[in-house]
Each structure stands twice: as C-alpha cells, then as structure tokens.
C-alpha cells in the first residue's frame, strides 16, 4: 500500500477554485450534492450493458481475491472465518452503494487484525460487535461534521511507519500457524511475550504445516511474477487444500478448528447493549474509527491517482460508518476501504461502484453454494496468505526514501513504527503526528534564521528590475498568455504535510488537457516528505498521460528532497528557472509558452 497524497481542488487554468472559495457565478455545493453516493453519479451518467459487464467481471475478480483473505483476516483476528465473509458481504455492499469513491472496495483489512484481536480477547465477541457499531456511529458523525479533510493531514512518514508496524505484528501473529506450533496456554498478545512463547514451543513444529505454508507463499510469489493476471491467492489456497486432503496431512483446517462455515447469512441483531460495556469498549471503538477513516481515505486517494477521478472524503466516511454498523448487525467485524482490493478492482476494468456491490454478491454466492469446501482449507495456507500480505504492506521504497531524505523524517518514521509495535496503533499515530508538527516548526525556525533578509510580503519593484537585483527585464511575449498547451503553476511558501493536503488535488488536475506542465518552486523555502510524495505522484501521472513535467527554480534542499523520493530526469526534469524550462520545451519542439499561472 502506498500513494498518500490528497486534497482539495482548484486552479485558474481549469476554472476551479480552492475549497472555501466559490468561483464567480458558481453556487456553493449543497449538502445533498456533497453526500450523494458515487453510485448515483455513475447511474446518472448512463449505465448500459457494456458498463454492467465490466463491473461484473471486476466484481468477480475482486471476490476471488477477497475470499481467502476475508477468512484469513477473521481467523487472525481471533474470530471464526465466517465473520470475515459476513464483513465482505455486508460491508462491501454498503460501501459500494453509499460510498464517495467510484472504485472503493470495502471489507475486513489486515491493518485491523491487531485491534480486533485485542478487543475480542478483552471484551469477547459481544464487546467487539458493540465497538464496531460505535465506530460506525463515530464515522458517520465525522463525515457529517466534514472532518474527512483533516484526516488527510497526517504526515507521510507516520502513515508509512504505522503501516510497517502493523505488517510486523500481522506476520508475528501468523507464526503459530505457519509452523503448526502447539502452545501450552493462550498465545500472548504483546509482541515480545508472543515471540518468547513461540520460541519456547519451537519443538512442537509441524513439518506438514511448514511445507503447506511454504508451498502457499511460493505459488503466490511465483504467479505474481510470471502470471500476474491469475488469481494467485485463490490458486495457492486451493492447491494447498488439495494437497492436505489427498495426502491426509496432519494439519489444522477450517473444518477441524471451526467446524466449517455456514451456508447463509445470520439474522441481523443488535449486539448486547449496556452503558458499562459501551464505556469499556469506547477506546477500542475510537481506534477502529480512526484507523477506518485513515485506511479508507488512503485507499480512495490511491484509486484517484490510478484513474484521475476524485472522491468525496466526507461522503466516504459516512458510507464507511453505515457499513460498520451493518457489519456489526450481521455479526461481522470492522469494515474499511481496502487498497489492494480497490487497485485490483480498477485493474480489472471496473466502471463504477457497482463492481463493489457485485464483489459482495459473488462472495455471498460462494457461501450459498461452496461453503463445505472451505472446511478443507489448512490454517497454514491462510497463514501463508497473510504472511505475503504483511510483506506487501511494508512500503520498502518509501521507507528507504524517508530514511535517506532527512533525519527528522527518519525519526518520525521509526518512532511511529516502534510505538505501533510495542505500544499500540493510536499512540503511534498521535506521537508521530506530534513529532511531524515539531519537525515542521523546527524547519520553519531554521528557514527564518537563514532567510531573514526576505520580507514576509513581497515589496514593490521598479519596472526595469526583473529580479530585484538590477537584472535585465525580459520583454513581454503576448503568446505566453494564449498558448493552451503549456501551463505554469507557482507554489509560494513552505510546502509541508498540511499544505500538501490542500494542494495535491490542484497539482493532480492542473495538467489536464495540457502537453507541458511547469511547476515553479522558486518561492518554496523547503519541502517535507509528504509534499515530495505529492509531487512524485503528480509527475508519475503526468508521465503516464504523456504530459511533460518540469520543476523550475527549486533550491538545492528542495531538489535533494524531490530526488530522494524518486524525481529525476524521468519522469520530471529540473530546470533552474521558468525561463530555462521554456527554452527546453522549445528546443524539444513543443510550445514553450505559458497559458496561465496559478498561485498557492
């Protein structure tokens, strides 16, 4: 999972204005418009047989991926596998029907394993269902209070750090089934005691379970490399199940451990309600809501980056809240937007939210028709599935870039990572955010100390002084205001994680219908890793759409930060000034002029 850059729209060249500013003659969006589900929007566009076929195929593709994952996540969360399927069926349906993202897939997430397992252990199934219901209420309230924008202000190192920490905990939670260990008592929840208990039980390892786990991982990795379009997760689990059944291997299966899965959905019912229980699970409900908001909005942002569409964050939060309430009523666990399954949905050719609805219906069909087959699935195979999921959750390139970019970003990353592993997720996010804010303040203080000669507001200059230092003034070129193919956008001021949340959508869309996009960073004193990640994402999208992207006037510090995050001669080009950028575009045989200039 990656691509954490979000924002609000607006710029002069495309006729849009930043959030909070209403363009002349354009009415502010109404409440109904902001919270209209994307499904309604897509149906209004026109929905025919071709679109239905595309969504059916995409829904089936995602369902094939979601089947083993839903059961594996539920088992790792210390509940029976059927509850993972309930979550995908109910949560996936409601997210698709009500969500503010066109391609979002909802269901149980690996990121929730630690929180859900801990809540189930401390408060039982009733407490878990109540916490899920309460989290849904919190998410609906957050959406209607329009707090979705603020969730996006979490710095990039924090999101990378907590994702990596969750991945480590997920992997540790699967060691028991990966090696087929037999523990004398209950497996400890905390990482260090868990590892000590597992090490002490090393002598009970089951060779058959190890072989099945290795086989599962090998098939998933091999198919991803040589047959990436094949459903690797389902094939791996099916092969492992066949091997275990045909060879009569002495391993734990879903049937031996849980008695299989039912062939229908349960009757909806409220979890046991009491004031004391609600107070007891309140911290867990808040953690569920916080993580669901972060995960779902990050997933929606990834979908935006892949498709060029825009999600409505607050509408998405409301849908996630309704989905969590619905899941709890049917005995399911926490629901959130799923980055990997959403990306699979897009790559499978989905047209709109109907694919998410179809994915849930296909899983329901599996329960109705093929539930008995699930009894043969070895737990070691599902552990192998989650082991690969945990490995893929760690954003290795992002971690390397953050460690190299600055000691401050590395500190935020490592602090968040360590606190998530050894403390809890909420503490890791809060402390990481606080460290990111302190880091920003420190950088601002250093910049003020170095740039004391620069006034806070630009002063008037003589007409014959082009740069404030007596340089020659360039002649006006009328074509620079008329060329429709090239656009220059200027960023002024510190470009950090808060500003990144505001400007990412602007930068993402400004190159629409343009051939050349020049980003003037001469007025940017510094840039942090979150903003660098934003620009890197915009550059990748520009390259994908054939738009040439040039970064002009960046200082050495800004250029170094951008280069650390993967920006170089490809897909972006650095130029010392906008004038030089124009000359390079002209030398390449394309229109060198500037059609409009935006300011942030």
SS3 492: strand
Give me the pLDDT at residue 395, please. Answer: 84
What DSSP string describes 48-80?
-HHHHHHHHHHHHHHHHHHHHHHHHHHHHTTS-
Greatest CA separation found in the chain?
88
DSSP string, 178-219: HTT---SSPPPSSHHHHHHHHHHTGGG--HHHHHHHHHHHHH
pLDDT of res. 574: 84
Q: Can you tell me whether residue 304 is helix, strand or coil?
A: helix
Structure tokens at 509: 């869309």
pLDDT value of position 28: 66
Report the alpha-carbon angle 39-43-44, nearest 5: 115
Six-digit token string for 582: 């124009």
Judged by DSSP in three states, 519 sits in strand
583: pLDDT strictly greater than 90: no
Nearest Cα residue to 238 out of 76, 366, 58:
366
CA dihedral 244, 248, 252, 255 (to 10 degrees): 90
Q: Which residues contact 181 (CB under 8 A, 6 or more apart)?
A: 175, 198, 201, 202, 204, 205, 206
H or E element at residue 576: none
Q: Specify the pLDDT at position 594.
A: 38
Q: How confident is the model at residue 448 (pLDDT cuts 50, 70, 90)?
A: very low
450-469: average pLDDT: 47
Contact 131, 480 (CB under 8 A): no
User: So what's the pLDDT on residue 461?
Assistant: 54
Looking up tokens 């086989």, which residue turns up?
215
Residues 6 or more apart whose Cβ sits within 8 Å of residue 403: 409, 410, 413
The pLDDT of residue 569: 57
Q: Residue 404, class by beta-carbon neighbours within 10 Å (0-12 exposed, 13-18 middle, 19+ buried)?
A: middle
Query: Are the CB atoms for 428 and 475 separated by under 8 Å?
Result: no
Read off the tokens for 9: 């729209």
Q: Output the pLDDT for position 600.
A: 42
Question: What pLDDT sits at residue 377?
Answer: 92
* Amino acid 380: pLDDT: 93
Question: How confident is the model over 339-369, as pLDDT tens digits?
Answer: 888 888 988 889 999 999 999 999 999 998 8
How big is the chain, counted in residues? 600
Mean of the pLDDT values across residues 64-85? 91
Q: What is the DSSP letter of 596?
A: -
DSSP state of 451: T
As a whole number, mean pLDDT of residues 499-517 equals 60
**Structure tokens belonging to residue 431:** 């402390």
> Sorting pLDDT into bands at 50, 70 and 90, what band is 272?
confident
Average pLDDT over residues 489-512: 61
Q: What is the pLDDT of residue 483?
A: 55
Q: How far apart are CA 277 and CA 126, in angstroms?
A: 9
413 has pLDDT over 50: yes
Encoding tokens for residue 420? Answer: 């998530």
523 three-state secondary structure = strand
Least-confidence region, from 373-387, 501-515, 544-558: 501-515
Higher pLDDT, 447 or 32: 32
Q: For 469, which DSSP code?
A: S
Please state the rounded mean pLDDT for residues 36-58: 92
Task: Say which residue the tokens 């409009």 belong to.
Answer: 596
Position with higher pLDDT, 124 vs 526: 124
- pLDDT tens digit sequence for 141-152: 999 998 887 776
Q: Of the candidates 553, 550, 551, 548, which has an alpha carbon nearest to the alpha carbon of residue 590?
A: 548
**Torsion angle of alpha carbons 526, 530, 536, 539, nearest 10°?**
-80
Structure tokens at 430: 């809060």
Determine the Cα–Cα distance for residues 103 and 77; give it in Å rounded to an integer: 26
Quote the pLDDT of residue 338: 87
| pLDDT of 65 above 60 | yes
Cis peptide bond prior to 307, omega within 30° of 0: no
φ and ψ at residue 121, rounded to 5 degrees: -70, -40
**Residue that is written with structure tokens 């087959």 in the block:** 373
Sequence-distant (≥ 6) Cβ neighbours of residue 246 within 8 angstroms: none
Model pLDDT for residues 296-335, shown as the tens digit of each residue:
988 887 787 677 678 888 999 999 999 999 999 999 999 9
Choose from 87-91, 421-425, 462-466 the range with maximum mean pLDDT. 87-91
Q: How confident is the model at residue 210 (pLDDT cuts 50, 70, 90)?
A: very high
98, 75, 36: which is closest to 360 by C-alpha?
98
Phi, psi of 218 (to 5 degrees): -60, -40
**CB neighbours of 219 closer than 8 A, spacing ≥ 6?**
232, 235, 236, 239, 240
pLDDT at position 496 is 64
Confidence grade of residue 251 (pLDDT, cut at 50, 70, 90): very high
Q: Are 530 and 494 in contact (CB under 8 A)?
A: no
pLDDT, position 20: 37
Distance of alpha carbon 37 from alpha carbon 341, whole angstroms: 20
Query: Span 112-140, mean pLDDT?
Result: 93
* Helix, strand, or coil (residue 489): strand
pLDDT score of 447? 52
**With contact defined as beta carbons under 8 Å apart, do 387 and 179 qualify?**
no
Alpha helices in 330-424 (DSSP H): 339-347, 354-370, 379-393, 396-405, 407-422
Mean pLDDT check: name the lowest of 162-171, 229-238, 502-511: 502-511
Output the average pLDDT for the chain.
80
In the chain, pLDDT over 70 holds for what percent of residues? Answer: 80
pLDDT band at 12, cuts 50/70/90?
A: very low
Closest to 201 in 3D by CA, of 215, 180, 222: 180
Q: What are 376's two structure tokens?
A: 């043969």
Query: Pick from 192, 111, 113, 115: which is nearest to 159 by CA?
Result: 111
Q: Report the alpha-carbon distance of residue 163 to residue 428 in Å, rounded.
A: 11
């Amino acid at each position: 999972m990656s691509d954490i850059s979000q924002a609000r729209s607006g710029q002069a060249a495309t006729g849009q204005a930043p959030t909070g500013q209403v363009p002349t003659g354009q009415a502010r969006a109404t409440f109904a418009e902001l919270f209209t589900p994307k499904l309604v929007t897509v149906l209004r566009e026109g929905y025919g047989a071709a679109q239905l076929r595309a969504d059916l195929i995409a829904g089936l593709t995602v369902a094939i991926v979601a089947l083993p994952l839903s059961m594996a996540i539920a088992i790792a969360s210390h509940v029976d596998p059927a509850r993972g399927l309930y979550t995908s069926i109910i949560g996936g349906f409601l997210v698709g029907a009500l969500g503010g993202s066109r391609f979002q897939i909802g269901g149980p997430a690996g990121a929730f394993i630690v929180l859900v397992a801990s809540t189930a252990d401390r408060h039982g199934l009733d407490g878990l269902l109540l916490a899920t219901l309460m989290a849904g209420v919190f998410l609906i309230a957050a959406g209607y209070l329009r707090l979705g924008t603020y969730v996006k202000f979490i710095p990039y190192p924090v999101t990378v750090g907590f994702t990596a920490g969750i991945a480590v905990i997920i992997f540790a939670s699967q060691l028991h089934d990966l090696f087929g260990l037999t523990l004398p008592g209950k497996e400890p929840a905390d990482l260090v005691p868990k590892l000590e208990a597992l090490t002490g039980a090393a002598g009970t390892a089951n060779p058959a379970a190890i072989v099945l786990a290795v086989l599962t991982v090998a098939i998933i990795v091999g198919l991803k490399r040589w047959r990436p379009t094949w459903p690797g997760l389902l094939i791996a689990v099916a092969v492992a199940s066949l091997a275990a059944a045909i060879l009569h291997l002495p391993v734990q299966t879903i049937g031996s451990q849980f008695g299989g899965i039912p062939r229908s959905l349960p009757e909806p019912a409220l979890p046991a309600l009491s004031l004391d229980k609600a107070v007891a699970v309140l911290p867990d409900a808040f953690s569920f809501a916080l993580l669901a908001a972060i995960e779902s909005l990050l997933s929606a942002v990834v979908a935006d980056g892949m498709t060029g569409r825009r999600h409505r964050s607050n509408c998405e939060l409301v849908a996630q809240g309704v989905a969590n309430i619905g899941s709890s009523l049917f005995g399911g666990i926490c629901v959130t937007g799923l980055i990997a399954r959403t990306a699979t949905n897009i790559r499978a050719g989905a047209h709109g939210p109907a694919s998410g609805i179809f994915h849930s219906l296909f899983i329901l069909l599996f329960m109705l028709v093929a539930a008995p087959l699930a009894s043969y699935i070895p737990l070691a195979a599902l552990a192998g599935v989650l082991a690969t999921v945990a490995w893929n959750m760690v954003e290795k390139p992002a971690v390397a870039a953050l460690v190299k970019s600055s000691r401050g970003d590395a500190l935020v990353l490592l602090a968040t990572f360590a606190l998530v592993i050894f403390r809890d997720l909420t503490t890791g996010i809060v402390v990481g955010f606080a460290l990111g804010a302190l880091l920003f303040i420190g950088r601002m203080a250093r910049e003020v100390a170095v740039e004391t000669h620069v006034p806070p507001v630009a002063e008037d200059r003589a007409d014959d002084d082009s740069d404030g230092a007596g340089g020659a003034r360039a002649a006006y070129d009328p074509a620079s205001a008329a060329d429709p193919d090239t656009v220059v956008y200027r960023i002024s001021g510190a470009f950090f994680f808060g500003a990144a949340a505001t400007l990412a959508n602007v930068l993402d869309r400004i190159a629409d219908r343009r051939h050349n996009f020049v980003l003037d960073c001469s007025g940017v004193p510094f840039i942090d890793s979150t903003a660098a990640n934003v620009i890197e994402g915009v550059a990748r999208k520009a390259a994908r759409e054939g738009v040439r992207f040039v970064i002009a006037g960046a200082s050495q510090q800004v250029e170094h930060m951008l280069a650390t995050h993967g920006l170089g001669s490809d897909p972006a080009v650095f130029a010392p000034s906008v004038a030089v950028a124009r000359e390079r575009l002209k030398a390449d045989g394309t229109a060198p002029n500037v059609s409009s200039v935006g300011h942030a």
